[in-house]
A and B are shown apart, each in its own frame.
Chain A
Amino acid sequence: MEFRAYIIRRLVLLIPVLLGVTILIFGLLQLFSPVERAALYIRDPKQFADIGHVIEQYGLNQPIWVQYGRWMGEIIHGNLGWSRVVSQPVTSAMLSFFPATLELALFSAPLIIIGGIFLGSKAAAHKDKFIDHATRVGAIIGWSLPTFWLGLMLLMVFYGFFSGLFPPERLSTEMSILVHSAQFTRYTGLNTIDAILNANGPVLLDALRHLVLPIVTLTVVNLAFILRLMRSSMLEALGKGYILTARAKGLDENAVVNKHARRNALIPVLTVSGYLFASLVNGVVITETIFNYKGLGWWAWQSAVHLDAPSVLAFALFSGILFVITNLIVDLLYARIDPRVRLGEQVQ
């Protein structure tokens, strides 16, 4: 019961979090004048003549509480508004961009997290040896590379130089036509999953081929963070008394490292991994833009640049929910990894 109460309380906490976030964003948007916010509706100088009417039509000159109340009223009726930057309802935009981002996160997050944990453990276990230096130097290089530069370089080499080996976008033109035809059912919007469900090998291969460069980019850039954290956490764990005891007992070194030290070193890494996964699901602007892999990050960025209030607010709601739930899951995993953590007791 205590465990369930803990989860419910954490979820109830979502309400003030989301209210706070939306009020903050609404307030920030109001710092811009009605004309600046109306610019969203003006795509061409030809439309300037009616800007006064646009301001009135969308109530941009009304008091902030009136505008916020109107937005809340729509939310209560299940209407998140219209995303002007992508010319569709916000809900529909979210549903259409989410699968691309999720697919990218599902492929890259395990590589980053497992790769980071593995390499971090290895580096710590071989402190000051070649493997330690090599992984650290490699990680720092990867971390130092600007995402846009790395992405463009990979694209120029593996798409330009090797003539279309790993192309941008989510699918090739032929496969895109096939996927959107009556011969193919889109169950999830995740091309790889849908290809498997449709038992369509060529679409699966094509989708994987298009995923390679964005995944490599994300992995190279993000791996270092997990790796370094895991390494330092492992070094700390390896210096503890119980490790000395385990070694004194004559336990195999692999068992000492993998079973005793790594498990304890995982707790801080788990926290960071949770946020990393949430960040990836939240969208990765530069990677999505360079590889024309349009997902939530690209949409959120466009919305922010154009002061598209309904989109920005909806994205904030999504992010709030995502991070609160991720936090919750991380806390639940703590209890799983460390038996000393008792969630119910924490609540009390």
Chain B
Amino acid sequence: MKSKKMSKVCWLLLAVLLTAAMLLPACAGEEAVTTPTTPTTPTTPTTPTGSKNPDTFVYATIGPPDSLDPAYAYDTASGEIIQAVYETLIFYDGESTTSFVPMLATEWTVSADGKTYRFKIREGVKFQNGNDLTPEDVEYSFERGMVQDYGAGPQWMLFEPLFGVGVASSRTDEGLIPLDEIKSKVEVDGQWVQFNLAGPYEPFLQILANSWGSIVDKEWCIENGDWDGTEASYEALNDPPSGGSPLQAIMNGTGPFALERWEPSVETSLVRNDNYWQEPAKLERVIFKVVDEWTTRKLMLEAGDADYVDVPRAYIAELEGVEGLTVYKDLPQLQNDAFFFQFAISPESTFVGSGKLDGNGIPLDFFTDINVRKGIACAFDWDTFIKDAMLGEAQQIGSPIVEGLSYYDPNAPRYSLDLDKAAEYLQQAWGGEVWENGFTFTIAYNAGNLPRKTACEILQQNLFSINSKFKVLIQVMQWPTLLRGMYAAELPMFQIGWLADYPDAHNFIFPFMSSSGTFSGWQNYNNPDVDALIDAGISAATSAERESIYRQLDQLYFDDVPSFIIDQPVGRRYFRDWVEGWYFNPVLPSNLGYIYALSKD
């Protein structure tokens, strides 16, 4: 009898729970009530009558921030939070990537030799804790960043202009760069702060306008265990491990929003700074929710629980015709994707078959023959790739310099699909041996990246159609394995892309073409003429000189084919239609753009 009663109680509890939950929308308060239309199928979008949270902007994102420290963070998700809380000396002027407006600096000058940059610091600005902004804070912010520089961080962008091309870190072969040298690069002069560059470096202003140029409160930093300005503290705090920065999870900027709460990988909440030195933001709160599952994000957007969501390209068709959205299309992204050739394949490689030109493999120096590289480049079909893999949301460009960067040339020389020409080049390769014997090697793509898979398949099919002895095998790899394959020179060819740090040609040319560039270094590509031109390009005193140099580099990229660009993607943004004030600037890390400008109707 007792167990029977228990069962009844349990079922009763379940029924009560479900009934209560069914009735909750009616009892949960006015703000939770929406007026849905009657959809015809479960997947048909609804049309809420208005925003559920009028003063709160909810962004359902896929990327959680890595760190809240502006000198440490090097990912876009962190950058978007940092740019809403901290501020830089100057900022991009609206949609422009080359002109600037004053922020924490009211004015600035650049010396005739391009080596001295001076900024007059704005007076009357307060940090969110009430401390005044001073020129010493500005000096401290940059020195602190370099002092606490770590592997794979953003500080190389300051070391290079201040210490010269080739210096990318505080750690050199001779040990740490002396603190005095770092301090000599950023100096206070009354209300002005002066940067002493190693040589002319045109994109320096663009570097300062990004999140790593944010100004922190010196006094507050030291109170929180950050660098105290001494040599001992420098050595102790240099090269911090993940999470080792004292400002990892706390924020105190001068910006329009203050950090309210950070639940890493779950949610970040920013609240309006009512003491902001400009007019306070229109939004009271901005919440970044990390939502991994696409369907969940989509439903949140349709239900009005999110004002903006990240939409993977593969799913854009699902939002076609959805009411209540404002869609911005054809937005060129400052990024590209390319196929790279390995010039010195590792003997450890398992992707070269027999390792000989016998039809069952390739030799380790296979791609040193320029005819091989040109032949393969001519066998790639850009139109099919952009139409099928990128759903038309990309464009072909000739050089690593993408549209939107300084010194981009829409007419840069480029390859196009020409199977006859591809056959011609491949007949000449390796004295005719390639054509005679054929080849077999493996190319790989990272799991889940369908465009890269399609690119591999296009190459595979087209090369086979030229000569049935040309066999390209395709292998899917998890990201860490693919990374090892690229880094250890085991992959004969690989695909990877680059995302802009700052909108200047140098930021793309160096990793793709320099013998010490990120990708070209891995490829073991080395052309002294190219290296010399890259150095000349960044240190040229005038824009005209730089223009000329980058045109030469475009040509060399075409002639040498160390890699070939597959595409520059264009993007979309999907906002609820009550969101106002958004504008597109490709260099801003956040898909929301300049968050201060946003409002909800």
Q: Point out the residues of chain A lying under 8 angstroms from B7, CB to CB.
A: 114, 118
* Pair A45/B497 contact, Cβ less than 8 Å: yes
Shortest beta-carbon distance from A205 to chain B in Å: 5
Shortest beta-carbon distance from A118 to chain B in Å: 5
* Pair A110/B10 contact, Cβ less than 8 Å: yes
Type the 1/0 row for A109-140, where 1 means its CB is closer than 8 Å to any CB of B.
01100110010000000000000000000000
Residue of A nearest to B168 (CB): A49
A86 interfacial contact with B, CB 8 Å: yes
* Pair B152/A41 contact, Cβ less than 8 Å: yes
Q: A82-B243, A87-B65 are in contact. Are A177 and B499 (CB under 8 A)?
A: no
Q: Point out the residues of chain B lying under 8 angstroms from A156, CB to CB.
A: 42-43, 295, 299
A307 interfacial contact with B, CB 8 Å: yes
Bound CA–CA A172/B34 (angstroms) = 13
Q: Point out the residues of chain B lying under 8 angstroms from A27, CB to CB.
A: none
Bound CA–CA A93/B302 (angstroms) = 31
* Pair B24/A292 contact, Cβ less than 8 Å: no
B498 interfacial contact with A, CB 8 Å: yes
Which segment, of B14-22, B100-108, B218-226, B372-380, faces chain A?
B14-22
Q: Point out the residues of chain B lying under 8 angstroms from A46, CB to CB.
A: 74, 498-499, 501, 518
A339 interfacial contact with B, CB 8 Å: no
B291 interfacial contact with A, CB 8 Å: yes
Shortest beta-carbon distance from B449 to chain A in Å: 13
B483 interfacial contact with A, CB 8 Å: yes
Bound CA–CA A299/B287 (angstroms) = 21
B1 interfacial contact with A, CB 8 Å: yes
Residue of A nearest to B45 (CB): A160
Type the 1/0 row for B1-29, where 1 means its CB is closer than 8 Å to any CB of A.
10110110011001001101110110111
* Pair A42/B152 contact, Cβ less than 8 Å: yes
The dominant DSSP class at the B interface is: mixed
A255 interfacial contact with B, CB 8 Å: yes
Q: Point out the residues of chain A lying under 8 angstroms from B1, CB to CB.
A: 254-255, 258
Type the 1/0 row for A275-315, where 1 means its CB is closer than 8 Å to any CB of B.
00000000000000111101000110010001100000000
B48 interfacial contact with A, CB 8 Å: yes
Type the 1/0 row for A137-158, where 1 means its CB is closer than 8 Å to any CB of B.
0000000000000001101110
Residue of B nearest to A56 (CB): B151
Contact partner, A43, options B66, B239, B488, Cβ 8 Å? B66
A44 interfacial contact with B, CB 8 Å: yes
Type the 1/0 row for B470-488, where 1 means its CB is closer than 8 Å to any CB of A.
0000000001110110011
Q: A82-B242, A86-B64, A177-B285 are in contact. Are A209 and B24 (CB under 8 A)?
A: yes
Bound CA–CA A155/B300 (angstroms) = 10
B321 interfacial contact with A, CB 8 Å: no
Shortest beta-carbon distance from B26 to chain A in Å: 10
* Pair A202/B29 contact, Cβ less than 8 Å: yes
A10 interfacial contact with B, CB 8 Å: no
Contact partner, A292, options B41, B46, B289, Cβ 8 Å? B289
* Pair A47/B24 contact, Cβ less than 8 Å: no
Residue of B nearest to A167 (CB): B305
Interface hits, A25-48 → B, CB 8 Å: 32-33, 35-48
B210 interfacial contact with A, CB 8 Å: no
Shortest beta-carbon distance from B39 to chain A in Å: 6
B573 interfacial contact with A, CB 8 Å: no
Type the 1/0 row for A320-338, where 1 means its CB is closer than 8 Å to any CB of B.
0000000000000000000
Interface hits, B440-494 → A, CB 8 Å: 479-481, 483-484, 487-488
Q: Point out the residues of chain B lying under 8 angstroms from A152, CB to CB.
A: 295
Bound CA–CA A42/B10 (angstroms) = 50
Bound CA–CA A173/B518 (angstroms) = 42
Interface centre among A89, A255, A258, A299 (most CB of B within 10 A): A258
Bound CA–CA A282/B358 (angstroms) = 54
* Pair A164/B305 contact, Cβ less than 8 Å: yes
Bound CA–CA A180/B355 (angstroms) = 62
Interface hits, B504-528 → A, CB 8 Å: 511, 518-519, 521-522
B319 interfacial contact with A, CB 8 Å: no
Residue of A nearest to B298 (CB): A160
Interface hits, A86-122 → B, CB 8 Å: 86-89, 93, 96, 110-111, 114-115, 118
Q: A86-B265, A159-B299, A180-B269 are in contact. Are A174 and B53 (CB under 8 A)?
A: yes
Interface hits, B247-288 → A, CB 8 Å: 248-249, 260-261, 263-267, 269, 285, 287
Residue of A nearest to B78 (CB): A87
Q: Point out the residues of chain A lying under 8 angstroms from B296, CB to CB.
A: 155, 168, 290-292
* Pair B67/A51 contact, Cβ less than 8 Å: no
Shortest beta-carbon distance from A159 to chain B in Å: 5
* Pair B48/A163 contact, Cβ less than 8 Å: yes
* Pair B261/A165 contact, Cβ less than 8 Å: no
Q: Point out the residues of chain A lying under 8 angstroms from B28, CB to CB.
A: 172, 202, 205-206, 209
Q: A155-B296, A168-B300 are in contact. Are A87 and B243 (CB under 8 A)?
A: yes
* Pair B27/A164 contact, Cβ less than 8 Å: no
B32 interfacial contact with A, CB 8 Å: yes
Shortest beta-carbon distance from A53 to chain B in Å: 3
Q: Point out the residues of chain A lying under 8 angstroms from B295, CB to CB.
A: 152, 155-156, 290
Contact partner, B499, options A44, A85, A211, A307, Cβ 8 Å? A44
Q: Point out the residues of chain B lying under 8 angstroms from A41, CB to CB.
A: 151-152, 242
Bound CA–CA A254/B4 (angstroms) = 9
Q: Point out the residues of chain A lying under 8 angstroms from B67, CB to CB.
A: 87
Bound CA–CA A167/B1 (angstroms) = 39
Q: A37-B480, A87-B64, A205-B24 are in contact. Are A53 and B151 (CB under 8 A)?
A: yes
Bound CA–CA A108/B449 (angstroms) = 36
Residue of B nearest to A169 (CB): B289
Q: Point out the residues of chain B lying under 8 angstroms from A111, CB to CB.
A: 14
B36 interfacial contact with A, CB 8 Å: yes
Contact partner, A174, options B20, B31, B36, Cβ 8 Å? B31
Q: Point out the residues of chain A lying under 8 angstroms from B242, CB to CB.
A: 41, 82, 84, 87
B75 interfacial contact with A, CB 8 Å: yes
A345 interfacial contact with B, CB 8 Å: no
Shortest beta-carbon distance from B500 to chain A in Å: 9
Shortest beta-carbon distance from B51 to chain A in Å: 11
Q: Point out the residues of chain A lying under 8 angstroms from B260, CB to CB.
A: 180
Residue of B nearest to A32 (CB): B480
Contact partner, A96, options B34, B39, B263, Cβ 8 Å? B263
B434 interfacial contact with A, CB 8 Å: no
Type the 1/0 row for B298-338, where 1 means its CB is closer than 8 Å to any CB of A.
01101101000000000000000000000000000000000
B292 interfacial contact with A, CB 8 Å: yes
Contact partner, B303, options A51, A82, A160, Cβ 8 Å? A160
B405 interfacial contact with A, CB 8 Å: no
* Pair B480/A57 contact, Cβ less than 8 Å: no
* Pair A51/B487 contact, Cβ less than 8 Å: yes
Shortest beta-carbon distance from A23 to chain B in Å: 22
Q: Point out the residues of chain B lying under 8 angstroms from A163, CB to CB.
A: 34, 36, 46, 48, 303
Q: A87-B66, A160-B43 are in contact. Are A205 and B291 (CB under 8 A)?
A: no
Offer 25 A-B interface pairs, CB within 8 angstroms, sorted by A.
A32-B481, A39-B483, A46-B501, A46-B518, A47-B74, A47-B153, A51-B487, A57-B150, A86-B265, A88-B249, A88-B264, A111-B14, A114-B7, A118-B11, A152-B295, A155-B299, A160-B299, A168-B296, A172-B28, A173-B287, A174-B29, A180-B260, A262-B3, A290-B293, A292-B291
Q: Which residues of B are interface residues toward A (Cβ below 8 A)?
A: 1, 3-4, 6-7, 10-11, 14, 17-18, 20-22, 24-25, 27-29, 31-32, 34, 36, 39, 41-46, 48, 52-53, 56, 58, 64-67, 74-76, 150-153, 156, 168-169, 171, 239, 241-243, 248-249, 260-261, 263-267, 269, 285, 287, 289-293, 295-296, 299-300, 302-303, 305, 479-481, 483-484, 487-488, 496-499, 501, 511, 518-519, 521-522
Q: Which 7 residue pairs across A and B have the least CB separation, nearest first?
A: A163-B36, A53-B151, A39-B480, A36-B480, A47-B152, A35-B484, A86-B265
Q: Which residues of A are interface residues toward B (Cβ below 8 A)?
A: 32-33, 35-51, 53-54, 56-58, 82, 84-89, 93, 96, 110-111, 114-115, 118, 152-153, 155-157, 159-169, 172-174, 176-177, 180, 202, 205-206, 208-209, 211-212, 254-255, 258-259, 262, 289-292, 294, 298-299, 302, 306-307
